[in-house]
């Protein structure tokens, strides 16, 4: 009997152990579920915080040892501009930099309006300083990752602090040919109204290395049209090195650049150029607008619209992207790309959304459209096209056929 009783107690002990193990497993499972729920709640709260304002977000990357470019007032009253600071290349970079992401928010909402309403809105903004206030609210800064630009081996190819191409849309050079070198150039592909990668927005070459990189980019991307919106010198400052020949051939690495035909007009020059590499030969047309002051706007809207029409005449995707540059590749370059994109849009549509266009442009080329004056000019030029040229559905020509 005693042994039987002991056996019974042993059985109870076994059941107790099993119950204890079951309880432990249940508690562990509940604990895991609670942790998972907490993580989900935290992620949900963070997402709600990001989305609580439906305006576009600003993302700025602040790098150690450098001063951010901010949208700020200059010494000129009622002007808002993005101030550029050149990088000091006299000291060699010690290491790569890592961007730190800082997110801010605006309440600005893009919206589409009819062309008639757009014309009325521009009239109103002209009277009440609306361009300036709207420009300040558009997302600005380095909005995407840009690790390639911060690598120490690429820093010498950046002229201005913070004016960097985004990793996801930067032009990547082929390093498998005899030119060698880096795959980095300070340039971004930009989607247009008609197709993706319709443009390349680029920094102007400013060193011997960037001169070669510039022609590598033109050659490898089959760019048959290059638009230059700066002069070589403005005041006492070199804005861009000359990369095309006048009377004699020029050589950049394996490329021989030969002059062909040049047509000089009052405010722009068109050059036909032959590019040779080994046995291969390509033709490039260089469209050089010479009447656009840095950080400001052309005095004559008609001439710029005429120039734009000449640039895009008979273009097709087989011509490759239009390479557009000024000095930094953001102010005049961004304004021209936005103008061309919006003019193509209104040629087939009865409405327009300027804020959305500029916001998307800045998500592909940082700091595009450098001043509020350029932003106002963009809209004034579109209104001028609408009211004088019927949306530019039928291109006007003051320049003779070439």
As a whole number of angstroms, the distance between CA 207 and CA 32 comes to 59
The torsion of the CA quartet 129, 124, 334, 328, rounded to 10 degrees, works out to -20
- CA-to-CA distance for 141 and 32, rounded, in angstroms? 41
295 is catalytic: no
Q: For 246-330, where are the alpha helices, taking DSSP H only?
A: 301-312
Q: For residues 204 and 329, is the Cβ–Cβ distance under 8 A? A: yes
Structure tokens at 381: 């030029």
* Short-list 303, 302, 279, CA closest to 289: 303
Across 290-397, the runs of DSSP E, i.e. the strands, are 322-325, 351-352
Contact 366, 389 (CB under 8 A): no
Taking every pair of Cα atoms in the chain, the longest distance, rounded to a whole number of angstroms, is 121
Separation of alpha carbons 142 and 62, rounded Å: 9
- H helix count then E strand count, the chain: 9, 17
CA proximity to 229, closest of 221, 238, 239: 239
Considering the candidates 169, 188, 326, 357, report the single residue annotated as catalytic: 326
CB atoms within 10 A of CB 305: 23
Contact 275, 214 (CB under 8 A): no
337 to 30, 132, 157, 368: CA distances (angstroms): 57, 20, 23, 9
Phi, psi (degrees; rounded to nearest 5) at 57: -95, 150
Check: CB of residue 163 under 8 Å from CB of residue 366.
yes
CB atoms within 10 A of CB 10: 10
8 Å CB contact between 241 and 204: yes
Which residues are marked as active site? 326
């Amino acid at each position: 009997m005693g042994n039987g009783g002991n056996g019974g107690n042993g059985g109870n002990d076994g059941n107790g152990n099993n119950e204890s193990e079951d309880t432990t497993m249940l508690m562990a499972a509940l604990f895991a579920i609670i942790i998972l729920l907490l993580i989900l709640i935290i992620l949900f709260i963070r997402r709600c915080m990001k989305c609580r304002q439906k305006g576009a977000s600003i993302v700025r990357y602040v790098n150690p040892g450098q001063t951010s470019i901010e949208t700020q007032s200059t010494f000129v009253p009622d002007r808002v501009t993005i101030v550029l600071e050149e990088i000091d290349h006299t000291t060699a970079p010690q290491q790569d930099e890592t961007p730190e992401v800082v997110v801010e928010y605006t309440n600005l909402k893009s919206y589409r309006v009819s062309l008639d309403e757009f014309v009325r809105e521009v009239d109103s903004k002209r009277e009440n300083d609306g361009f300036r206030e709207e420009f300040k609210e558009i997302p600005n800064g380095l909005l995407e990752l840009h690790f390639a630009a911060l690598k120490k081996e690429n820093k010498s190819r950046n002229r201005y602090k913070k004016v960097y191409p985004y990793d996801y849309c930067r032009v990547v050079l082929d390093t498998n040919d005899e030119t060698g070198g880096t795959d980095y150039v300070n340039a971004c592909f930009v989607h247009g109204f008609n197709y993706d990668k319709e443009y390349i927005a680029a920094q102007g070459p400013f060193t011997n290395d960037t001169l070669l990189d510039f022609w590598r980019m033109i050659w490898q991307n089959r760019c048959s049209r290059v638009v230059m919106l700066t002069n070589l010198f403005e005041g006492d400052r070199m804005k861009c090195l000359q990369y095309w020949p006048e009377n004699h051939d020029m050589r950049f690495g394996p490329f021989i650049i030969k002059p062909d035909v040049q047509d000089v007009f009052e405010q722009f020059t068109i050059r036909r150029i032959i590019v040779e590499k080994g046995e291969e030969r390509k033709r490039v047309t260089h469209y050089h607008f010479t009447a656009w002051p840095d950080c400001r706007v052309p005095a004559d809207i008609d001439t710029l619209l005429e120039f734009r029409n000449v640039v895009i005449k008979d273009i097709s995707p087989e011509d490759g992207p239009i390479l557009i540059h000024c000095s930094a590749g953001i102010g005049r370059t961004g304004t021209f790309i936005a103008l061309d994109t919006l003019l193509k849009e209104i040629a087939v549509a009865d409405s327009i959304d300027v804020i959305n266009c500029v916001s998307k442009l800045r998500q592909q080329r940082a700091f595009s459209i450098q001043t509020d004056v350029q932003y106002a000019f963009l809209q004034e030029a579109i209104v001028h096209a609408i009211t004088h040229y019927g949306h530019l559905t039928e291109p006007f020509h003051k320049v003779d056929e070439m």
